[in-house]
Amino acid sequence: MSNDPRSLVEEPVRGALVGVMGRGIALVTLMALLALWPVAARPDTATRDGIAGVALGVLVGYAVLVRVTAWHAGRPPQHARARAWERAQEIDGEGAALSLLVAGWVPAGLLLAVGLLLWPHLTDQNPALAAAWVVLGLPPFALAWLLATTTWLDACRDDLARAELESDVRFRRYWANPGH
């Protein structure tokens, strides 16, 4: 941490922007690896189904973990959430633009990974298995994707709002006793 008051005040927001990018890239990478494993390894049906189950668990687990953490920590006020990206842009324009790009592409990346993961199931040689995946497998994945995506977007905004509130506290603390 620097003694420069500006960097001290901006540090929480810059950290939150890096966190958004890191978590988004990690989530999409994990789902992409799970989706590509059956394509590359060509496992038997049971293993392929197991990988799909793990991927579904990752999406639901992510959403539940983030929601429980947010419930425990409390949500930032609505006014802070509403201006979160705008205020981040004021502090670090390039970092906010890149983080917003990553945040926006996470839902698309997750959808692509889910599609790639389900493709072998939906095009199975056995028409009964393919139909079963359309009827019984596709809806849980669609709901898990929707839950993970909405959770992801809320978490990004909440993290930035919390960081900006911390930034405001640091700003007020500094100006309450400048230079000390």
Q: For the chain, which residues make up each domain, given as ranges?
A: 5-176
User: What local confidence, expressed as pLDDT, does residue 143 receive?
Assistant: 97
Per-residue DSSP letter, 134: I
Report the chain (180 residues): mean pLDDT per 10 consecutive residues. 74 95 97 92 87 96 96 91 94 95 96 94 89 92 97 96 91 77
Determine contact, residues 118/136, Cβ cutoff 8 Å. no
- Apex CA 136: angle with CA 131 and CA 139, to 5°? 115
Read off the pTM: 0.87
* Cα separation, 130 vs 137, whole angstroms: 9
User: What local confidence, expressed as pLDDT, does residue 4 receive?
Assistant: 77
